[in-house]
Chains A and B, each alone.
Chain A
Amino acid sequence: MFEPSDRLLLAVSGGKDSLALWDILIRLEYDVLGYHLDLGIGGYSQESTEKTRAFSEKRGYPLIVEEIAAEAGGTLPDIAETTRRPPCSACGVSKRHLFNRAARQLDRQILVTGHNMDDEASRLLGNILHWQDGYLEKQSPVLPADGGLVKKVKPLNRLTEKEMATYAYLKGIDYVVRECPMSADAKQLFYKKILNDIERESPGTKQSFYFGYLDRSARFYPQKEETTPPSEKCRVCGEPCYVDICGFCRIRMKLSPFPESIAPEETSDLIQPEPL
């Protein structure tokens, strides 16, 4: 997935997976910078940011924090309400955009996320049920750099949610236990329940389903000889995208409309954190 010399940007939510992964990567002496996005979901985000900052400060791990309200013009609840998107969809679009931008601005070669096996298996189930070819093609723990998109990796993809919670507890990691209040109806939770129900009746099925797919995915979706990087740059922010204006800027425009004809604007530049 990556080499000891690689510069990693780790997306840290304050939950068990990302905090545990941060702990593991630092113990293994990787060059890793934490990045936390404050989603502005009331007390939940406040707790997430506080726990992430506390974890960083207690261990002396470098951390960058950004607020979605400052970048998008509104909190995640504002975005969901204004755009009428499902909250998890709006959250996903915003994170993909801001994580990639942060990695490029901070000169990090690889974006690391804490997705575990249960996350990946439930996502796979959802993508198969709806035959989302575009997502299935990219359902890999390693996505190479592509155009202006940095390389993305998921090192926890072989570990279960319970294993990560157990690790976090035994290492004394103080993480956010409560669930995001906006994901209560998330389909992913439903798919996880289905997979756990199947697993209880037929142990091993979840692993066999997910890893079986990874073994076969190259056959289903052969790697193209020529990569197809995003052909466009967003006319507004200049970030890579496949269309004229990227999804994140379309969200921003709905929150505070601005003329589509405007020239690409200066985006906020992140500054490397001082060593703690």
Chain B
Amino acid sequence: MTEPKSQKETRSGSTGEETGVRPVTPIRVFNAQTGARFEVPFQKRVSGLLRALGIDDETVIVIQNDQLLLPGDRIDPGNEVEIRPVISGGSGQ
């Protein structure tokens, strides 16, 4: 699992020390279908995170801290967000 990078990045992309702006934590994401872990720039809400990742809300469920999140819910930047695709294909059973 990739640990979050140090909290140097700000919304403007410069360091907090230089600008005095509060540092922004990236969001840690886990894709439960591929097993991939990665980070994306801070997003306040689930809808923003999915938009940033180019994911259609109807194709996934989003889980954090054992809670199912809806598009309007806030993301806790301190914990990993699980994105679980719901689409399955093939011949079916």
B68 at the interface (CB under 8 A from A): yes
The 8 A-B pairs with the shortest beta carbon distances in the complex, nearest first, are A183-B90, A189-B89, A92-B91, A165-B86, A13-B93, A186-B89, A11-B93, A91-B91
- B90 near A180: Cβ-Cβ < 8 Å: yes
B2 at the interface (CB under 8 A from A): no
Chain A, residues 189-217, CB within 8 Å of chain B (1/0): the string is 10010001101100000000000000000
A42–B91 Cα gap in the complex (Å)? 18
A-B contact pairs, 25 of them (CB 8 A): A87-B90, A91-B90, A92-B91, A113-B92, A114-B92, A114-B93, A161-B86, A162-B58, A162-B59, A164-B86, A165-B84, A169-B61, A177-B33, A177-B85, A178-B35, A179-B33, A179-B88, A180-B90, A183-B89, A189-B89, A192-B87, A192-B89, A196-B59, A197-B56, A200-B56
Chain B, residues 52-81, CB within 8 Å of chain A (1/0): the string is 000010111101000010000000000000
A25 at the interface (CB under 8 A from B): no
Residue of A nearest to B35 (CB): A178
Contact of A118 among B33, B63, B87 (CB under 8 A): B87
- B90 near A16: Cβ-Cβ < 8 Å: no
B21 at the interface (CB under 8 A from A): no
A95 at the interface (CB under 8 A from B): yes
Which A residues contact B (CB, under 8 angstroms)? 11-13, 15-18, 37, 87-89, 91-92, 95, 99, 113-115, 118-119, 160-162, 164-166, 169-170, 177-180, 182-183, 186, 188-189, 192, 196-197, 199-200
A113–B93 Cα gap in the complex (Å)? 6
A210–B84 Cα gap in the complex (Å)? 25
Give the residues in chain B near A199, CB-CB below 8 Å: 58
- B61 near A89: Cβ-Cβ < 8 Å: no
Give the residues in chain B near A115, CB-CB below 8 Å: 92
Quote the shortest CB–CB distance from B67 to chain A (angstroms).
10
Quote the shortest CB–CB distance from A247 to chain B (angstroms).
13
B32 at the interface (CB under 8 A from A): yes
Quote the shortest CB–CB distance from B50 to chain A (angstroms).
12
Quote the shortest CB–CB distance from A23 to chain B (angstroms).
16
| Residues 20 to 70 of chain B near chain A (Cβ within 8 Å) | 32-35, 56, 58-61, 63, 68
Say yes or no: A186-B90 contact (C-beta < 8 A), given A165-B61, A177-B33, A200-B56: yes
A197–B59 Cα gap in the complex (Å)? 11
Give the residues in chain A near B86, CB-CB below 8 Å: 16, 161-162, 164-165
Give the residues in chain B near A170, CB-CB below 8 Å: 68
Give the residues in chain B near A177, CB-CB below 8 Å: 32-33, 84-85
Residue among B33, B84, B85, B93 with most chain A CB within 10 A: B93
Give the residues in chain A near B68, CB-CB below 8 Å: 166, 169-170
Give the residues in chain B near A188, CB-CB below 8 Å: 89-90
- A161 near B89: Cβ-Cβ < 8 Å: no
